[in-house]
Amino acid sequence: MTRWSILTEELDRWSAAGRNATFWWRDDDAADVTPPLERLLGLAVAKSVPLAIAVIPETAAQALADRLRALPPGITVLQHGYSHRDHSGPSRVDGPKRKKTELTGDRPIEDVCRELREGRAKLRDAFGDRFRDVLVPPWNRIDSKVLEQLPALGFEGLSTFGPLADQDSPSACAERLVQANSTIDIIRWRPERAFLGEDALLDQILSDLHRERAHSEVSAAPLGLMTHHLVHDEACWRFVSNLLEVTLAHRAARWLTADEVFAGTQDTRVPRRRRA
């Protein structure tokens, strides 16, 4: 028995319980129309699967907006920081290496807010109704000082990486910001960028689905697929295509739009959300 058939069996259990296993798809680092982006869009459109694209405002090309305008609904634009530039600063010689981050509190908060505001305005103008006021921090990291400013800057949502239950969120944003993270990263970033592996990814997906199914609530958190089209090898593309094919063939699996994921009110037809 393959792990793909085990995934189908897990979805059978969701169906027997009268529940839907929900998924959503976020792809990062878009800025222009490239062959990998065309492949990404082609896959999403061919499978009729909603896709949220995290676009870098500073380098976002008009050609990207023109390309998305021609697509059917379901392709949504989120804001990927401002420049995707590392501002973590140099590491101490006698300390651990600092992790890359753009939205750091070490910079003047006024500069960070100005860039985010300018980036949001640019994306709203370029992408219109396809743009959603959701921030995706580069490298999935955001300083608490910056996070607290997001509602005032017009953001309604936040998406980083990892289970929400493992993260603490400042209470200042509790009633004003919806957070929905990606939880499945198909890339192994170190020591070199490569496909994480089919077995490892399916093991994680099965574990996450089992945990959510065991939850006492009727509505469970969606599994967030995170991809990076610019660095995919053939194994990455093959895995995503297979995952879409298997889940779309099952009545208990449902892929959510960004509008559903970041909806502002609780609904038993969409997944449980945690507010940041």
Determine the Cα–Cα distance for residues 170 and 174; give it in Å rounded to an integer: 7
Determine the Cα–Cα distance for residues 75 and 53; give it in Å rounded to an integer: 7
Report yes or no on 94 lying in a domain: no
pLDDT of residue 43: 98
Determine the Cα–Cα distance for residues 212 and 224; give it in Å rounded to an integer: 13
Q: Find residue 26's DSSP bridge partners.
A: 52, 226
Helix, strand, coil share of the chain (percent; to 5) = 40, 20, 40
Q: What is the 3-state secondary structure (H, E, C) of 98-162?
A: CCCCCECCCCCHHHHHHHHHHHHHHHHHHHHHHEEEEECCHHHCECHHHHCCCHHHCCCEECCEC
**In this model, does residue 95 exceed pLDDT 80?**
no
Lookup: tokens for 4: 């793909």
Report yes or no on 184 lying in a domain: yes
Lowest-confidence segment of 87-96, 152-161, 213-222, 265-274 by average pLDDT: 265-274
Which tens digit of pLDDT belongs to each residue from 171-225?
A: 445 457 899 999 999 999 988 899 999 999 999 999 999 998 887 565 678 999 9
Element (DSSP H or E) covering residue 194? strand 194-195
Give the CATH number of the domain where residue 71 resides: 3.20.20.370
Pair 111, 85: CB distance under 8 Å = no
Could you give the number of structural domains in the chain? Answer: 1
Angle at 191 between CA 35 and CA 83, to 5 degrees: 50
CB count, 10 Å around CB of 114? Answer: 13
pLDDT of residue 266: 32
pLDDT of residue 271: 36
Report yes or no on 187 lying in a domain: yes
Lookup: tokens for 260: 């559903």
Domain that holds residue 222: 3-89+99-275
Q: What are the residues whose beta carbons fall under 8 Å from the beta carbon of 178, sequence distance 6 or more?
A: 156, 157, 158, 262, 263, 264, 273, 275, 276
Which tens digit of pLDDT belongs to each residue from 223-263?
A: 999 999 999 999 999 999 999 999 999 999 999 999 999 98
Which tens digit of pLDDT belongs to each residue from 25-46?
A: 999 999 999 999 999 999 999 9
Amino acid at 150: L
Angle at 119 between CA 118 and CA 121, to 5 degrees: 65
